Chains A and B, each alone.
Chain A
Amino acid sequence: MGRFLLRRLFSSLFVVFGVVTLVFFAVRAAPGDPVASILGEQALEIDKQALRDCLRLDEPMAKQYALFWGDVVDGTFGELCDERGATVMDKLVDAIPPTMELALASLLVAMLLALPLGILASTRPYSWVDNGSAFVALLGISIPNFWLGPMLLILFSLTLKALPNPGAAVTGLSALILPAITLGTALSGKLMRMTRSSMLEVLGQDYIRTAKAKGLPNVRVVIKHAFRNAMVPVVTVLGLQFGALLSGAIIVEKVFARPGLGTLLLDGIEGRNYMIVQGCVLFIAFTYVLVNLITDLLYGAVDPRIRYE
């Protein structure tokens, strides 16, 4: 376990190193003069020079790279050029809570939808429950979330008037419901199929037959004996799909005009703010790497049979 932990940590650190390097070079590989594209061709020379100094464009590449690492390591992700004294992290700190709120709510929606349906489908394979859930999963995967969002808005906010129209000054839980359903639906499809096939595999094993033979009630066998062991692949899918959730949040935030990382990123793109864009990309990638690391380490906790090495 100790050696595995060390190796896993090391490989995550390596990926972080690669991500930082890739983002650094991708941003600097931009054709043309970034200063001209930010300020426009007609800008005053003094403004151009100030921005050039702020973005450190006149430094040698190796020094830029080292300074870039400095910004990442001290957690500021660099200082903003258009706002004195503010760092990219200050912006991120404001944007992270709404996005995390959305991601966690979507995860909840996905699990509430997927786990019961997946378990139910696995206990009655090939029944109408099973086929019905497969159909729902298929729809969930094929409907793009930037379309589902507007459709839900038309249905619930305009036609049924049941939920507030987001974008207006609505806060609180109800403004979270539609975005979370929009983002959670796609994930729930994948999760449902995974839960079902993993459950089917476990339900076919000998210890389940033993548990049933002991006369334990069926619900207890399914939930306590089978489901716990079927969780391992499900947790993997959850970890891997968390990234899809983060990148899906960019779109859902735009659909529902919600604040968050995606909105920050898109505003950064609109305003050609390199610092903000690279900060958002780095932060999302770091989060994803971290979640995958945690997922890997969780295996052992969910299923003690797993021995590393």
Chain B
Amino acid sequence: MMSFFDSFKVPARARTGLAGFGFAIVALMMLSAILAPWIAPYPVDYIDITRQLEGPSAAHWLGTDENGADVLTLLLYGARVAAIVGSVTVVACAFTGIFLGSISGYFGGWVDEALMRLTEILMAFPGILLAILIIFVTQEPSLLAVIGALSVTGWSGYARLVRGQVLVEREREYVEAARALGFPKGRIIFREIVPNILAPVIVQATFGVAGAILAEASLSFLGLGPQDSPSWGALLDQGASYFLLTPHLAIFPGVAIMITVLGINFLGDGLRDWLDPRAIQKT
């Protein structure tokens, strides 16, 4: 797993500060997602055709798009799409990954073999390639389709991580004790082992939120994102066609994506320090 600071001696207080900064960004983004209808200066479907493609002004802080819609309003609503895609995708992937990965690691044998080969096949599709194919096939680029497509491909990383951890953990004494006590296998796996291996999964899931937001934005930029709601990637795509005229349309959605991803990465690094201190001792 990548970390920007794992090999880079930032004083403890600064690291906590960066993590706090990341948390603040994420909290701000969640707030704008939840409160979008109340804090947005205009309704989401508001357009003023007399003021198309205008730069930032007092009435429209971040300018207007080619239909005369307020860019700030669209960005605030776009935070909803990012928040939903980021969180739902990661929860779906992490749960599937924990479930299949722990079974794979605990039982071994043909179950393990089959599941690991399946993850290898899924991982042969780099980046958003399989998601592109799935959305193309289902023909309805909705929010749900995007989340589904990203989840189908995204769980394999979690499964492999969890499997590796379970392989180590199942030899430990407390697991043997649980076995000796005659606990059923399901309880040993999910109540004894899984709680002990959650730390790296949570850290990976945090970075996964950033990954899912970027993936959604990429799909939207390619015209394969949710068509039913304003997404940052789609805004950037529209903006890119006008950037000769008005660069602000392309700049602001990109800044929104970048700051969010940056914030989540800071937060992920902080969480890692806190939850999984072994990970940073290597270098």
CA distance A73 to B265 in the complex (A): 43
Indicate if the CB atoms of B254 and A151 lie closer than 8 Å. Answer: yes
Interface string of A189-201 (1 = CB under 8 A from B): 0100100110011
CA distance A90 to B8 in the complex (A): 49
Indicate if the CB atoms of A18 and B117 lie closer than 8 Å. Answer: yes
Flag whether B35 is at the interface (Cβ < 8 A): no
Indicate if the CB atoms of B2 and A141 lie closer than 8 Å. Answer: yes
Indicate if the CB atoms of A255 and B240 lie closer than 8 Å. Answer: yes
Interface string of A132-170 (1 = CB under 8 A from B): 001001100111101100110110001000000000000
Indicate if the CB atoms of B124 and A11 lie closer than 8 Å. Answer: no
- The chain A residue with its CB closest to the CB of B269 is A138
- Once A23-B133, A193-B4, A281-B133 are accepted as A-B contacts, the answer to whether A147 and B139 lie under 8 Å apart by CB is no
Flag whether B183 is at the interface (Cβ < 8 A): no
Contacts of B9 in A (CB 8 A): 125-126
CA distance A154 to B250 in the complex (A): 10
Which residues of A201-251 are within 8 A (CB) of B?
201, 242-244, 246-248, 250-251
- The chain A residue with its CB closest to the CB of B217 is A144
- Once A137-B4, A193-B7 are accepted as A-B contacts, the answer to whether A281 and B240 lie under 8 Å apart by CB is no
- Contact residues on B (Cβ < 8 Å of other chain), bracket: 35 or more
Indicate if the CB atoms of A247 and B126 lie closer than 8 Å. Answer: yes
Main secondary structure of the interface of B (DSSP, over half): helix
- Contact residues on A (Cβ < 8 Å of other chain), bracket: 35 or more
Q: How far is the CB of B243 from chain A (nearest CB, A)?
A: 5
CA distance A188 to B162 in the complex (A): 28
Indicate if the CB atoms of A131 and B218 lie closer than 8 Å. Answer: no
Flag whether B244 is at the interface (Cβ < 8 A): yes
CA distance A153 to B236 in the complex (A): 14
Contacts of B217 in A (CB 8 A): 144, 146
CA distance A201 to B239 in the complex (A): 45
- Once A31-B138, A244-B126 are accepted as A-B contacts, the answer to whether A254 and B251 lie under 8 Å apart by CB is no
Indicate if the CB atoms of B258 and A143 lie closer than 8 Å. Answer: yes
CA distance A193 to B5 in the complex (A): 9
- The chain A residue with its CB closest to the CB of B7 is A197
Flag whether A32 is at the interface (Cβ < 8 A): yes
CA distance A150 to B245 in the complex (A): 13
CA distance A190 to B2 in the complex (A): 7
Q: How far is the CB of A18 from chain B (nearest CB, A)?
A: 3
Indicate if the CB atoms of B5 and A134 lie closer than 8 Å. Answer: yes
- Once A138-B265, A158-B244 are accepted as A-B contacts, the answer to whether A147 and B222 lie under 8 Å apart by CB is no
CA distance A244 to B127 in the complex (A): 6
CA distance A289 to B121 in the complex (A): 9
9 closest A-B pairs by CB: A243-B126, A247-B127, A147-B254, A18-B121, A142-B262, A138-B4, A146-B221, A30-B137, A197-B7
Instruction: List 17 additional A-B contacts (Cβ < 8 Å) besides A150-B239, A193-B4.
Output: A15-B124, A27-B133, A30-B137, A125-B7, A144-B217, A146-B236, A146-B237, A146-B240, A147-B250, A242-B126, A247-B126, A251-B221, A281-B125, A285-B124, A285-B129, A288-B125, A288-B126
